[in-house]
Amino acid sequence: MDAKQAITQAIIEGKTVLGIELGSTRIKAVLIGESYGAIASGGHDWENRQENGVWTYSLEDVWTGLRLCFRNLADDVQNRYGAPLVKAGAIGISAMMHGYLVFDKDGKQLVPFRTWRNTVTEDAAAKLTDLFQFNIPQRWSIAHLYQAILNGEDHVKNIDFMTTLAGYVQWKLTGKKVIGLGDASGMFPVDGAIHDYDHMMLERFNNLGLPGNPGRKVADILPVVLRAGETAGFLTEDGARLLDPDGSLQAGIPFCPPEGDADAGMVATNTIAEYTGSISVGTSVYILIATGKKLSKVYPEIGVLATPEGKPVALAQSNNGTTDLDAWVKLFMEVSELAGAKIGKAALYDTLYNRALEADKDADGFLAYNYHSGEYNTGMEEGRPLFVRLPGVNFSLANFMRTLLFSCLGSIKYGIDILAEKEKVRVDTIVGHGGFFKTRGVGQRFIAAAFNAPVSVMQESAGEGGAWGIALLAAFMLRGGGSLEQFLAEKVFAAKARTTINPDPKDVESFGKFMKRYAGGLGIERAAIENLPRR
């Protein structure tokens, strides 16, 4: 039996594992085989929108996107292997972390989904940080809940269940109101030693009072926390039809705990071990470092999360990543089409990214802010994308693209410097994942310059990201748990090659000069917010 026949047989026998991730711009599904590599994939592009000042996705779009994503996966399986996708050994769900999804006792959504991208909880986040003596970023679910309380929003008294996007999808597919330990750590602080929400902080929040019945506690509306390796429910008949209305997918498939994109990304890059870090550059940018220790103090720029097994992780995040860059690439695509050029999207990205490598030494006189939404690292409550240049500079495509790429890393640099300079956090390995790394060497090289550290990419899986990571967590559950770190090191990544780029001193110097312009020009962004009102 050759390799393709073996995969076909595994598909027929349900020995594959399915991972689905709802990212900020793309919903992706990956099917992995018995050797843990991806054997088929499917996807669906989607986009958040701003309604009444709130960044959101409708739940209708969630299910439309999931169905189309699953259908594309099933078609890929059929086309590659001539077999229908009717069952799998396990399923894992991952999604954007944080945000605010609340439902009443009848399962009715009470307010539109408030995503991680919203910067509308400054008052609540500050008060909870002071109360807990633990940084509560604005994007966290508990900050959204408390802000709704402070605002006197009437719906709060009717909340029966609050969850994340991954927790919501899991609930609808399995009927279980559960969440993975890592995703939970972006809702409410967790205690890694007990694999649950921090009991002392729960009590402190309860003392603030939760509108509704007098005895109601915040734990009553939070999902149950589960650790990596535990079974988190089974696909119901109703759930199977939500994913596959055609009726082919069979019910009864076990699920691992739903996880956030951060934890799925750590798994996909094998960076859950101490002193390892992973970076994702997409609609937002985040870097996670398994510190092996608690931070010495509270920093507003640094979040503290947990791995799927409960170990401490330092998170530096910026709300804005490649959205503005992607908008410019789309504009160039439009120009090429008007000129009659036939160039694919991937080829255009490669061309433009590689052009950035030919920029002048410093690309001096150029500045960009990629702020489509607010950016808490720099104190901006809203965003205005900007590109600014001095007259007389060499306004070349190379300099333009390098400035756009550098701007994707500007805000995150503030958090990185805190971890490196103030906390002396040791990092042996930084691994990148996601679409920013699909063009070989370019994004990787600029990140190495920004952090002045080696950056590795597992090129085979660089673009698969969290969908593959959550599939690995589902496969780990099927094995009966144990040590996730050992499973990844010995079973999944032992033979996987990675490419590493060391920082080029010239690039480091160039990025340093860009950051001086970036810090000095923040007043330009502030003036744009104040003088260019939203339509």
Cα–Cα distances (Å) from 67 to 43, 63, 247, 248, 379, in that order, read 10, 6, 12, 13, 39
Residue type, 13: E
Main-chain dihedrals φ then ψ at residue 350, nearest 5 degrees: -60, -45
3-state secondary structure of 277: strand
Q: Is the pTM of this model over 0.85?
A: no
In this structure, how many other beta carbons lie within 10 angstroms of the beta carbon of residue 160? 17
* Residue 167 near residue 183, CB atoms below 8 Å: yes
| pLDDT tens sequence for the chain (535 residues) | 688 899 999 999 999 999 999 998 899 999 999 999 999 999 999 999 999 889 999 999 999 999 999 999 999 999 999 999 999 999 999 999 999 999 999 999 999 999 998 889 999 999 999 999 999 999 999 999 999 999 999 999 999 999 999 999 999 999 999 999 999 999 999 998 999 999 999 999 999 988 877 788 999 999 999 999 999 999 999 999 999 998 899 999 999 999 999 899 899 989 998 888 889 888 889 899 998 788 889 998 898 999 999 989 999 989 899 999 999 999 999 999 999 998 999 999 999 999 999 999 777 899 999 999 899 889 998 999 999 999 999 999 999 999 999 999 999 998 888 888 889 888 888 898 777 888 888 999 999 999 888 899 875 554 567 899 999 999 999 998 789 999 999 999 887 778 899 999 999 999 999 999 999 999 999 999 999 988 6
Residue type, 318: S
Token pair 């007098």: residue: 214
What the block records as the tokens of 58 is 């409708």
Per DSSP bridges, beta strands 276-281 and 429-433 are parallel
CA distance 508 to 468: 32
What is the predicted pLDDT for the residue at 495?
Answer: 76
Give the helix ranges, DSSP H, for 276-344.
323-338
What is the predicted pLDDT for the residue at 216?
Answer: 87
Q: Which CATH number fits domain 271-457+504-535: 1.20.120.1200, 1.10.10.10, 3.30.420.40, 3.40.50.2300?
A: 3.30.420.40
Residue type, 262: A
pLDDT tens digits, one per residue of 327-358: 999 999 999 999 999 899 999 999 999 999 99
Per DSSP bridges, beta strands 386-389 and 429-433 are unpaired
What the block records as the tokens of 459 is 């090129």
What the block records as the tokens of 325 is 């860059």
* Residue 150 near residue 121, CB atoms below 8 Å: no
R_g of the chain, CA atoms, integer Å: 23
